[in-house]
Amino acid sequence: MTYFTYELPFPESKLLDGIIHMLKKENLFDVAFMLKGANLQIEQGGYSHYDGGGRSDALAAYVTVLVNPSCLDVLDTQDTKSHITRLCDKLIPPNVGYDVKSTSFSMDLTKDFDLEDDLIIELEQRVNSFSARIIRDIMPEDVRNKGYQMTECYIYLYVVENSLRLFIAKVCKEKYGESFYDGINIPRALRNTIQRRRENAENNKWLSIRGEDLFYLDFKDLGALIDNNWQELFEAYFPSRDFIIPKLNEMAECRNLIAHNSYISDTVNIRTTSDRVFA
């Protein structure tokens, strides 16, 4: 009598998340990056021992990963397919009873395509895949991996910085109303920064207009704004001045490193820092 369940104890999407996590741990950031947004499907086959051998009563399992069309040519290699197969076999619990036999990649057709532009789409796919091959050849693997890591850091800091701006605006509006800029204490230096950055955006038409003045202030500027309105507005939201201001300055340093294409070492934990800021 078999003890296999023949059923995953988690959604297939969670298996893909685990694969992406393992790829990053193995420094395969380029593959992990291209698998984001993909969909994974598992198809059951017959008994495993009839398809190349396997555990008694286990079923053969075949993995299909539906990916962005522009990534298909780059991902669809024997090395990548073998790697995904190995990770699936490792991540699927033994009591499920799946012996993963193979992995295949296919286009994700859930997105709408304009058939009139199919030639343009094909050209873009070819250019993207060709560019990726060139990058693989000329760029050191260490530089590529760090680039993918910095992409994630940028996204996280982008979300945190804009969330902080919206938080400040909400607190100020609750206190002073929609015209809160007339009520809060904005030091002259910050007003000059806002004016200078607004003028720069207006003079360079390819730069988008950011909207409210707060969106022209970065981490350190926002920290100064909180510091100058501490007792009136922000004291109730943070443990102390000595906590929030240094944390914002730390994230400002990380942001500046990324903006100048530098690398943030593994010893800097952006997620922990920002989670504590908004705790």
Please tell me whether residues 103 and 156 are part of one structural domain.
no
Q: How many residues does the chain have?
A: 279
Domain presence at residue 24: yes
Domain presence at residue 222: yes
What pLDDT, on a 0 to 100 scale, did the predictor assign at position 103? Answer: 96
End position of a domain, from candidates 59, 94, 112: 112
Please tell me whether residues 238 and 148 are part of one structural domain.
yes
Please tell me whether residues 163 and 78 are part of one structural domain.
no
Whether the model pTM is above 0.85: no
- Among 213, 175, 173, which residue's Cα sits nearest to residue 197? 213
Neighbours of 71 (CB within 10 A): 24
Please tell me whether residues 226 and 102 are part of one structural domain.
no
Please tell me whether residues 223 and 178 are part of one structural domain.
yes
For residue 227, give its domain range.
143-277
CATH of the domain at 88: 3.30.300
CA dist., res. 87 & res. 100, Å (int): 9
Please tell me whether residues 147 and 269 are part of one structural domain.
yes
Domain presence at residue 126: no
What pLDDT, on a 0 to 100 scale, did the predictor assign at position 238? Answer: 92
Q: How many domains does the chain have?
A: 2
Going residue by residue through the chain, which has 279 residues, state the pLDDT in tens, using 9 for 90 and above: 568 999 999 999 999 999 999 998 888 888 888 898 899 999 999 999 888 889 989 999 999 999 988 788 889 999 999 999 999 999 999 999 999 999 999 998 875 554 444 544 555 555 555 566 666 666 666 666 677 777 778 888 888 899 999 999 999 999 999 888 888 999 999 999 999 988 887 887 665 556 788 999 999 999 999 999 999 999 999 999 999 999 998 888 888 877 766 666 655 554 544 555 544
